[in-house]
Amino acid sequence: MTVQPIRLFGDPVLRTPAEPVVDFDAELRRLVADLTDTMREQNGAGLAAPQLGVGLRVFTFEVDDVLGHLVNPVLDFPDEEEQDGPEGCLSIPGLYFDTKRRMNVIAKGFNSYGDPMQIVGTGLMARCVQHETDHLDGVLFVDRLDGDARKEAMKAIRQAEWYDQGAPPVVKLSPHTPGNPFGLGR
Ligand SMILES: [Zn+2]
């Protein structure tokens, strides 16, 4: 079982640009397996490495029964066509907002063995590839919303039951008391 916990909105790792993969080794393939298993267990269309706390440019996808992964993706847009529709994120569970994306994308990158590969995506696949590549740049889909829609989304996130309101301040009773003396979790 290689299902891993998914980092949620508010975790700094989701805001940190990921590093390009240099070593196409067994460790990378283990990461791809973890991403795949976790994505499928959560019925997600895609999952990016930072969502498992790993700062590498890798994501997995499963759209229209096409399962795969892409390492070090570079996106190219063959035309100007756009799409608008509901989008969600496993790091922002239960919330969906209409998000504008490009309709068509060509994503170039590598598989976990370092072989060049390319995804020509349209519609949902194109949306997924853009969403996951954003994760690798520390960008979340709510950042793509404009004005009022973004404010509404942020409000909904802050009200979500999973949202971490911030750990209580650590009270040190004496310099010899390590950490939080009351053992209060988050
Ligand atoms: Zn996401």
Distance of CA 104 to the CA centre of its chain: 20
| pLDDT higher than 50, residue 141 | yes
- The amino acid sitting at 37 is D
Binding residues, as ranges, are 89, 131, 135
Q: How many residues does the chain have?
A: 186
Using the mean position of ligand 1's atoms as its centre, give its distance from the Cα of residue 184 in Å: 30
Q: What is the pLDDT of residues 64-112, one digit of tens each?
A: 999 999 999 999 999 999 999 999 999 999 999 999 999 999 999 999 9
| Arithmetic mean of pLDDT over the chain | 91
Binding residues for Fe cation, as ranges, are 89, 131, 135
Q: Give the residue among 144, 138, 42, 39 at the shortest CA–CA distance from 85.
A: 144
87 catalytic per annotation: no
Using the mean position of ligand 1's atoms as its centre, give its distance from the Cα of residue 127 in Å: 11
pLDDT of residue 164: 81
Using the mean position of ligand 1's atoms as its centre, give its distance from the Cα of residue 182 in Å: 35
pLDDT band at 140 (very low <50, low <70, confident <90, very high): very high
Q: Model-level pTM?
A: 0.88
